[in-house]
Amino acid sequence: MLPSAPPPRRSRRRGRSSARSEQELRNSVTARVLALPNCSYRELGEQWRAVWRIDPPRKASREFLMRAVAYGIQVHAFGGLDAKTLQLLRKANTNGARPKPQRNRLSKGSKLFREWHGELHEVLVLDKGFAWRGETYPSLSAIARAITGAHWNGWAFFGLKPRTKEVPADG
């Protein structure tokens, strides 16, 4: 069951408020938040509308609604994030799009070297693919397979990928 009163608001007066009113506010917020798990999905939706003044997301889980409503109740009572934090969040979330991870790109003309069983192998990066011993290969993995006779991740074989476990230096 939810209290039907509007969310408590912090007094706009300057200066110190009494310790008793601060405690009453804390108790009121605590009671409202602790009542949320006993609410039905419909009641959580109503609380969402009261707190955020918009309809809840259509397929929001009950857990999400409880957490968001609890956060909203606390924001209304005690204040939200400071301006600097909000600015950082906005900057991190430009246009709502996630930044694409940078792919490791090798510049055309770069040379990769790998020693395998005492023999030094040199690979040239081309526009499309890689050259090794006068032949063109579509990937570093294909060259690593030709050198070792086993399947390797080409980026790992040539030391371009961070290692998660120790790779033998010479097969």
Contact between residue 77 and residue 10 where contact means Cβ atoms under 8 Å apart: yes
Q: What residue segments make up the domains of the chain, in order of their start?
A: 1-83, 111-157
pLDDT (mean) for 134-156: 93
pLDDT score of 170: 60
Contact between residue 62 and residue 44 where contact means Cβ atoms under 8 Å apart: yes
Lowest mean pLDDT among 2-6, 95-99, 100-104, 117-121: 2-6
Confidence of residue 91 (pLDDT cuts 50, 70, 90): confident
What does the DSSP 8-state code read for residue 36? G
50: number of Cβ within 10 Å: 17
Residue 91 vs residue 65, higher pLDDT? 65
Q: From CA 23, how far away is CA 77, in angstroms rounded?
A: 12
Would you state the torsion angle of the CA atoms of residues 90, 93, 97, 103, taken in this order, to the nearest 10 degrees? 140
The whole-chain average pLDDT of the chain stands at 82
Contact between residue 67 and residue 51 where contact means Cβ atoms under 8 Å apart: no
Q: From CA 130, how far away is CA 140, in angstroms rounded?
A: 7
4-54 pLDDT, tens digit per residue, is 334 444 444 445 557 778 888 888 899 999 999 999 999 999 999 999 999
142: number of Cβ within 10 Å: 17
